[in-house]
Chains A and B, each alone.
Chain A
Amino acid sequence: MALFPDPFNTLLGLQQALEAFRTSGWLQSSTSGGGSYPPINVFRKNDDFVLIAEVPGITKSDLDVQVKGRTIRLAGTKSINFPDKASVHRRERLSGRFDRSLTLPIEIDLDGVRAECNDGILVLFLPRAENDKARSIKIG
């Protein structure tokens, strides 16, 4: 069953669900602070997990994604350059370097991890390791 079945409720449904999980204890205290850049959301899809981060203006070459054991590290630099002779009227975008890591409460299949980065969104597919999946036990 899809979690957000009605197309008219999709946006609101997703937003409400995300808001509700802002206090989720799923990552316990294993992430390096909720206020670290880039902001991330983690979703469950059947047995597997999907990590999504907003990284607008960061090119693939400026983004370093590492996975070791259960820990994921996102590091890189976001640079904003203005032309030399420009006069800046407004500056709301932030730039700088970032480095955060988070430890998942599940075992992941390291060979199956895939990363995509499109339209300023980083998507990390994290398949759950076979030995971490639940097994049905037949009652004899």
Chain B
Amino acid sequence: MSESPLAVREKQELAKKEEQTVPGRFFVPPADIFETDEALTLIMEMPGVEKKDMTLALEDDVLRVEGKIDFSKYEGVEPVYSEYVVGHYARGFTLSGKIARDGISAQLNDGVLTLTLPKAREAMPRRIAIN
């Protein structure tokens, strides 16, 4: 699987529900979601976002992830060749009631954000014994 050549995917622009007040384009980070017996894991790619510029907010069952790019790093440089556009990232996920809200944890490594959403005790699979 890892031996196949890696393709480039164009960044997907975020379709905003609200009007923006600050000019600039946002992108939707590509995400992987998988589930184990204990937890749901969300993995998102947001290259260039530092830990301090990552915001995670949980409101009304919606988990919002926002990663800002520090544009000051691009001061004093002039593009001569470009294959991708730099922009902030934003994405939201609606959580089911099965997630233990207090146990959500996050990790950021090499531009990849990993969110672990543990399942509530009631939602964990259990074996039913037959009498």
Contacts and interface: CB of A to CB of B under 8 A. Distances in A.
B2 to A, nearest CB: 5
Interface residues of B, number: 52
A14 B79 CA distance: 9
B31 to A, nearest CB: 5
Contacts of B84: 18, 39-41, 54
Interface stretch (B40-48, B55-63, B97-105): B40-48
Interface string B35-76: 111001101011111100000000000000000010110111
Contacts of A95: 1-2, 6
Contacts, number: 193
Interface string A74-90: 00011110110111111
A58 B6 CA distance: 12
Interface stretch (A29-37, A64-72, A107-115, A130-138): A29-37
B119 interface: no
A57 B76 contact: no
Given A3-B77, A96-B6, A24 B85 contact: no
Given A15-B24, A79-B2, A83-B36, A55 B8 contact: no
Contacts of B69: 11
Interface of A: 2-4, 8-12, 14-15, 17-22, 24, 26-27, 34-45, 49-50, 54-59, 77-80, 82-83, 85-98, 117, 119-121
Task: Kindly list the 4 A-B residue pairs having the minimum CB-CB distance in the complex, ordered from nearest.
Answer: A120-B111, A11-B24, A120-B47, A96-B6
